[in-house]
Amino acid sequence: MRKAHITRQTRETKIEVFLNLDGEGSYRVETPVGFLTHMVETLARHARFDIELYAEGDVHVSYHHTVEDVGIVLGMAFLQALGDKRGINRYGYAIVPMDEALAMVSVDISGRPLFFYEDLNLRGKITEFDFELIWEFFKGFALESKSTLHIRVISGKILHHVAEACFKGLALSLRQAVSLTSGGIPSTKGSL
């Protein structure tokens, strides 16, 4: 089984995650940011990863540190769980509708951390959650998982729907990319 356990503590946050890439989509997520909790649960369910995640953070300052650091720690766990990446599909993509919102997500588990994001310059709050913080989550995840991640919002007006389409798109892309297809490394270089 491809599993990982990561604990990370800074002066701003304390995060612990257990990740099983070969799970069934079960989750137990506890963060001080309700919308973040909902999105990590959504990620687990649609990627079919089992995720246990416990986070504390300086939310009295801002949600920023907690959201970013949860993305970082999940990226670290993802990379650890993949091991040498032998036999994975490597690539994954999805175009996900969520009512009026439509997001396109593509991932390459390449060992080259890059992040590209376009969201129609949408800004605002989802309850107390600043919409642009999803960018911080995805960036942290992409860089720490050493993946190339593209997210493009094609349409949308309701920020909750846009964010959810992006998270579901990431989940479906990751599920496809980590699926086992062969015994070898999916690269002409022989390593990822």
pLDDT of residue 130: 97
pTM, two decimal places:
0.96
What's the rounded Cα separation, in Å, for the pair 67 and 70? Answer: 5
Tell me, yes or no, whether 23 lies in a domain.
yes
Tell me, yes or no, whether 189 lies in a domain.
no
Q: Is 11 exposed, middle or buried (0-12, 13-18, 19+ CB in 10 A)?
A: exposed
The CATH number of whichever domain residue 78 belongs to comes to 3.30.230.40
Containing domain of residue 47, as a range? Answer: 3-178
Structure tokens at 182: 């062969």
Tell me, yes or no, whether 183 lies in a domain.
no
Tell me, yes or no, whether 192 lies in a domain.
no
Predicted confidence band at 148 (pLDDT cuts at 50, 70, 90)? very high
Tell me, yes or no, whether 55 lies in a domain.
yes
Report whether pLDDT(52) > 80.
yes
What is the tens place of the pLDDT at every residue in 119-144?
999 999 999 999 999 999 999 999 99
pLDDT of residue 90: 96
Tell me, yes or no, whether 118 lies in a domain.
yes
Express as a percent the part of the chain with pLDDT over 70.
98
Q: Average model confidence (pLDDT) for the chain?
A: 96
Predicted confidence band at 1 (pLDDT cuts at 50, 70, 90)? confident
Number of neighbouring beta carbons within 10 Å of residue 26: 14
Number of domains in the chain: 1
Q: What is the chain's alpha carbon radius of gyration, rounded to the nearest angstrom?
A: 16
Tell me, yes or no, whether 185 lies in a domain.
no
Give kind and range of the element (H or E) at residue 174. Answer: helix 159-178
Express as a percent the part of the chain with pLDDT over 90.
94
Ramachandran assignment for 108, one of left (phi > 0), alpha (psi -120 to 50 degrees), beta (any other):
beta
Contact at 8 Å (CB) between 90 and 110?
Answer: yes
Q: What is the DSSP letter of 21?
A: T
Give residue for tokens 């969520």. 98
Predicted confidence band at 8 (pLDDT cuts at 50, 70, 90)? very high
Report whether pLDDT(106) > 90.
yes
Contact at 8 Å (CB) between 92 and 174?
Answer: yes
Q: Report, as an integer, the average pLDDT of 69-77.
A: 98
